[in-house]
Amino acid sequence: LAKTTQPISMDSYEGQEVNITCSHNNIATNDYITWYQQFPSQGPRFIIQGYKTKVTNEVASLFIPADRKSSTLSLPRVSLSDTAVYYCLVGDNYGGATNKLIFGTGTLLAVQP
Amino acid sequence: DGGITQSPKYLFRKEGQNVTLSCEQNLNHDAMYWYRQDPGQGLRLIYYSQIVNDFQKGDIAEGYSVSREKKESFPLTVTSAQKNPTAFYLCASSFGQGATYEQYFGPGTRLTVT
């Protein structure tokens, strides 16, 4: 079964670039990798999604190596409002009819002034 | 205004009582999910449904039950068999089932059982 691992926490300062990595050793070959952001007592919200190489949108970039066993979320020039927990989500190819969804352990990003 | 709603936001129950959490979406999504989140922990999948009248157990289905009689609704019942029901419960929906499809989350229901 897939196991997705993330650093428990990271600290940063305003204006810096932050990179959060998620390791997923048994990712399904046909599923995308998705990252979510969660503030306290709220539901997670979508940040970015990709299948391979690099994807960029208005808030983040996502880097995925060729073997797809990991992914790195990059947040450019973070601000205090980026303080949140970040989760990766992958599908696990465990042999069932549909892929099993596996959320990462979550990374608490604390941005300081 | 499209979205996914959960009610109530806070729920208090006595031990031994069953309680049902509501989840409604008007996004025309086929798939719906229930997750449980404990303090400082990640999301754990309880149940999911890919289509009306069909649902599958997730990682921690024991002590929970669901129904999917309508596309828009996916209520979760926390039964008295659930050993530690106090948690934050999140409902989500997506066009299809799988990590490829963006999940839209509701605001959550915080259940406290004493």
pLDDT for residue A2:
58
pLDDT confidence band for A17 (50 / 70 / 90): very high
Separation CA A93–CA B82 (nearest Å): 29
* Of A12-16, A87-91, B75-79, the least confident: A87-91
Mutation for testing the A interface, residue in B27, B34, B43 having most A CBs under 10 Å: B43
Residue of B nearest to A47 (CA): B102
Query: What is the per-residue burial (b if ≥16 Cβ within 10 Å, else e) of B24-57?
Result: bbeeebbbbbbbbbeeeebbebbbbbbeeeebbe
Residue with the larger pLDDT of the pair B60 and B2: B60
pLDDT for residue B35:
95
Separation CA A4–CA A69 (nearest Å): 9
The yes-or-no verdict on residue B28 having pLDDT over 70 is yes
Residues 6+ apart with CB under 8 A from A66: A52
Q: What six digits make up the tokens of A84?
A: 């949140």
Least CB–CB distance from B102: residue in A41, A49, A91: A49
pLDDT for residue B69:
97
The yes-or-no verdict on residue A56 having pLDDT over 60 is yes
Separation CA A46–CA B86 (nearest Å): 26
Least CB–CB distance from A87: residue in B43, B97, B104: B43
pLDDT for residue A93:
65
